[in-house]
Amino acid sequence: MQIPEPHIPGTLIRRYKRFLADIRLEDGSVLTAHCPNTGSMLGCSAPDSPVIISRSDNPKRKYPWTLEMVHQDETWIGVNTSLTNRLVNEALDNGIINDFGPIKSIRPEVRVEGGRLDFLLETGRGCVYIEVKNCSLVENGTALFPDAVTARGVKHLLALDLLREQGHATALIFCIQRNDAERFAPAQAIDPVYAETLYTMYERGLVVLAYQAKVAPDQVSIVRKIPVLMAS
């Protein structure tokens, strides 16, 4: 997936009010960009980090520039979580994510009891409900989710488990938008409730997958599956 044009480099001054980031451009000027990331951005929001921002042509936007990625720990990290589902959809379409057999159709944004899930796949093996989570935190080669306490994430796990109890196939896909992850594990130290809930759902039959995206200043794309460590 190509990063929208125009996109330019800059330097992160600060991220604040959750959805705003001040960016210093190469000419020394400063602008405020929209930060489309609801997480804490732990490990990818240090001041003075190089960034890539893109400009929207939507005249209704108060902040036309979008923070796309941050360079930290010697790697580019995709922080625009609005791209996550598109990355996964693209990888399902092109067969990079091939855990579900031949796919007949992909339906996004599916309403279910207890909320909404990201995808419903119709496959040769039947239907699969899928929730997708963006992962940007890596410690010692292990990608970790979440980067902050997430009651919403627990709600999604419970919705998947209810579907499983009704006889449906369910899966959770972690999309890791950085190049330095070798494995994935739940972030037990950050949100023990989420981690323990995930362990329980996994033991009950939830399919848990982790896919890594290659992140570069001009494009992001899912390239490989990495191991998931699931042990409470």
Point out the least confidently predicted range of 109-118, 196-205, 219-228.
Answer: 109-118
Q: How far apart are CA 3 and CA 61, in angstroms?
A: 18
pLDDT at 114 (0 to 100)? 76
Domain 81-226, CATH: 3.40.1350.60
* Whole-angstrom distance, CA of residue 169 vs CA of residue 79: 30
Tokens 């923070």 found at: 67
Domain 7-78's class? mainly beta
Band (pLDDT 50/70/90 cuts) for residue 115 is: confident
User: Which 3 state secondary structure label does DSSP give 229?
Assistant: coil
pLDDT of residue 232: 60
CA distance 183 to 72: 19
pTM: 0.95
* The pLDDT value given to residue 125: 87
* Domain locations along the chain: 7-78, 81-226
Residues 6+ apart with CB under 8 A from 53: 7, 8, 10, 23, 33, 65, 66, 67, 68
Instruction: Take residue 50 and report the two structure tokens written for it.
Output: 């190089």
Residue with tokens 């000027």: 29
So what's the pLDDT on residue 93? 95
For residue 193, the surrounding DSSP H or E stretch is: helix 192-204
What is the percent of the chain where pLDDT is above 90? 95
Of residues 182 and 124, which shows the higher confidence score?
Answer: 182
**Cis ω for the linkage preceding 146 (within 30 of 0):** yes
Q: What is the mean pLDDT of residues 148-175?
A: 96
